[in-house]
């Protein structure tokens, strides 16, 4: 039998549902920004190609995390890494299990 040191699960949209628009709205409230549907479209226009680049090995995860928030970081005078961390925290707060998934206690 093989021994494994680690087991990784792809949680997003496999075990949990994440509403990134709601997560971004929640995150930006901390910066007194009302994040709109138009803002979300602009974010997606940047974010989606970055994920393709990451999946193709053209950029690192850190580059993705920073690049997707670069324009907002400049507007808010905040490091893009801080915005990414705030986004991850907001997403953790709002995520919920996908329907039909059961978890052992």
Residues designated as active site: 10
How does residue 30 score in pLDDT terms, banded at 50, 70 and 90?
Answer: very high
Name the residue among 33, 30, 45, 46 with its Cα closest to residue 82: 30
How does residue 102 score in pLDDT terms, banded at 50, 70 and 90?
Answer: low
| Mean pLDDT over each residue of the chain, to the nearest integer | 87
Checking if the pLDDT of 103 tops 80, the result is no
pLDDT in tens, 38-84: 999 999 999 999 999 999 999 999 999 999 999 999 999 999 999 99
Domain boundaries, the chain: 18-97
Topology of the domain covering 18-97: DNA polymerase; domain 1 (1.10.150)
Phi, psi of 95, rounded to the nearest 5 degrees: -70, 155
């Amino acid at each position: 039998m093989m021994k494994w040191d680690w087991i990784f699960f792809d949680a997003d949209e496999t075990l949990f549902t994440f509403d990134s628009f709601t997560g971004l709205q929640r995150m930006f409230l901390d910066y007194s920004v009302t994040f709109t549907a138009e803002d979300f479209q602009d974010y997606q226009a940047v974010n989606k190609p970055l994920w393709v680049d990451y999946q193709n090995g053209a950029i690192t995860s850190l580059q993705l995390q920073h690049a997707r928030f670069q324009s907002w970081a400049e507007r808010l005078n905040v490091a893009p890494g801080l915005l990414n961390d705030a986004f991850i925290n907001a997403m953790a707060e709002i995520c919920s299990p996908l329907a039909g998934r059961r978890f052992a206690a």
